[in-house]
A and B are shown apart, each in its own frame.
Chain A
Amino acid sequence: MTDPTPRDHTVASRPLVIAIGNPFRRDDGVGAAVVEHLRATGAVAYALDLLELDGEPTRLVDAWDGRPHVVVVDAVVDPRRAPGEVVAVRVREGGRPTGDAPAGGATGVSSHSAGIAVAVRLGEVLGRMPVALTVVGVVGGDFGDGPGLSPPVAAAIPAAADAVGSVVSLTAPRGRRRAAR
């Protein structure tokens, strides 16, 4: 279980990686596992802010509002893809929507429903978006009760972390990247 410390989200000018999901719903915990991986590798952790959220849209909007570059890592439900497959969607670039938006996310019948898609739409309407936003998804297969990822999803953690690292390093200032090494 990750335990982000307050320093995880204090420097608003740095790229922010947000993990979404519930580590007690098996593969839904992959976002947290990817953030854990990034933190363990150290190098990126000095250049990135890492934050773990539950996916509640208004918290997402608060977290990413005004940031230069945000990557959200989440589990994906997609029956047409194999568990462990890593997909990435660039939702915003250069302060504008790309036209690619995450699907899903009806607004739900309770305050417990959640979704990045809703957060994106709400953030756009309110003008509270990051300059650049990428969603990195890992296709999950097992969303049953309990901690622990299914083998294909656990095996995909390094690839998902690479996807995050490659995306944010593009916009991270050179000096900062050097400092990260």
Chain B
Amino acid sequence: MTHRSAASRSIRVEQLARVEGEGALHVEITDGAVTDVRLRIFEPPRFFEGFLVGRSHMEPADITARICGICPVAYQMSACRAIEDACGVPVGGRLLDLRRLLYCGEWIESHTLHVSMLHAPDFLGVPSAIELAELDRPTVERALRLKKAGNRILEVVGGRAIHPVNVKVGGFHRAPRRAELDALVPVLTEALEDARAIVAWVAGFDFPDVEMDYRFVAADDPGHYPVMGDGFIVDGRGTFPVAAFLDEVVETHVEHSTALHAHLRSGDGYLVGPLARFALAADRLHPLAAEMAAAAGLDGPVRNPFRSVIVRSVETVHAVATALELIAAYAEPTVAAGGGRTVAALDVPPPATTTFGHGITEAPRGLLYHRYGIDPSGSITAATIVPPTSQNQPTIEHDLRHVAEDMLAEYGDALSDDDLRHRCEVAIRNHDPCISCATHFLDLSVERRRGA
């Protein structure tokens, strides 16, 4: 192809990049009442479960990072913890602190992207961050600056920002030097001010008066706001060990989606993510984040999904402040490796007999569970991944049904598909679901029927 013909103006490319149409919503209305709401979400983890079987137990940290461009650290951390659990090699101390620092980077990036670029436009009456940038450029510049600070943590600790390569089972390929982390301090100090300003900004939005009856589930991270799960907390039922996750949570195939839907054993839907973490562990927020939460008027569990934008921004302050503390306390995590050498990872040999291990960590959008069976040769015999979105999906459908019913009550037959689509998109955005890195838009179908 020559350069000139390649630049022909007649070319019209229908759809660039990612695969279209994998997030779809079907709403069925019979005689003016909502009779069915089905959200179809493509879930890449299902493919990876099969793909991992037969591979070495050292591989999932790299492979699962490919599941998601937005939350690779979450996949790496839950995978590593599950494998280390199966092999009986818990990773703690300085290595765990370094993992927490890496995770802060991901929370900062993911939350900032969602809060300022995707969710805020809903409250400001603009279609997207592009129009927001036209109206209020400093606000978008602030978000990009803050997001980049999170990016810097991923680069320094994770080796690179996209699909970090420095994470391994047992720890890290290489520990960052003290000076490399010190260089992050001015960036994060500015980021802290940006993060605080964003809380104040979003707290001033107008929120619809909605109160949902959520059942919250979050990781139990003793002494910490939930990130690494030593167990998990089910609102109203108590705290359970990580290994009991699939006893308490039941996954079922649903016909309309490649995703599995998760329910509690009781059959109830539940919610993971910022609202759950805040409801179950607000007392463990960094003091600077707690202060911002109070100033933003958050007092106790938040059950209005629209106000999740405030909770995410409070969690961003928590992540930045925690990162600064972890850096201040940092000492290189070195492990003796024989011959006078030191490395930044524990040796994690396979178990003596085939053993299952479990790992829970808190992705920005909620609890992420991994389970692996590992045989004595180090080969993976089984893999189960329960991502936050499959756990939230029944609850999101419940929210959507509410939205559709409210709109039908308000507009009746005059309700247009466009208006319904917009309100449904907003309702989905409240939960920042992982509609896979492969989805461009919500494909809405409305079926209007007459009863017999």
Contacts and interface: CB of A to CB of B under 8 A. Distances in A.
Given A87-B11, A104-B14, A122-B130, A112 B6 contact: no
Nearest to A56: B69
B400 to A, nearest CB: 11
Contacts of B12: 103
B162 A59 contact: yes
A113 B441 contact: yes
B6 A167 contact: yes
Given A21-B17, A22-B438, A58-B144, A107 B127 contact: yes
A116 B141 CA distance: 19
Given A88-B7, A106-B441, A56 B130 contact: no
Contact of A112 (B47, B48, B436): B436
Interface stretch (A39-47, A70-78, A172-180): A70-78
A143 B19 contact: yes
Interface stretch (B75-83, B110-118, B408-416): B110-118
A1 B165 CA distance: 12
Interface string B76-115: 0000000000000000000000000000000000100110
Contacts of A103: 12-16
Given A55-B69, A77-B15, A125 B134 contact: yes
Interface in B158-199: 160-163, 165
A131 interface: no
Given A24-B66, A145-B47, A107 B16 contact: no
B129 interface: yes
Interface residues of B, number: 66
Given A22-B438, A52-B162, A110-B433, A78 B113 contact: no
A88 B17 contact: no
Given A107-B128, A112-B436, A167 B162 contact: no
A64 B92 CA distance: 39
A55 B437 contact: yes
B440 A108 contact: yes
Given A58-B117, A111-B110, A112-B69, A106 B13 contact: no
A162 B141 CA distance: 36
A94 to B, nearest CB: 13
Closest 5 CB pairs of A and B: A54-B69, A88-B6, A145-B47, A107-B128, A77-B15
Interface of B: 1-3, 6-7, 9, 11-20, 23, 44, 46-48, 51, 66-70, 110, 113-114, 117-118, 121, 127-130, 133-134, 137, 140-141, 143-144, 147-148, 151, 160-163, 165, 425, 428-429, 432-442
13 contacts: A4-B160, A6-B160, A25-B438, A28-B19, A58-B143, A59-B151, A105-B17, A110-B118, A111-B113, A112-B439, A114-B17, A116-B17, A163-B1
Interface of A: 1, 3-4, 6, 20-25, 28, 52-56, 58-59, 61-62, 74-80, 86-90, 98-100, 102-118, 121-122, 125-126, 134-137, 143, 145-146, 159, 162-163, 166-167, 170
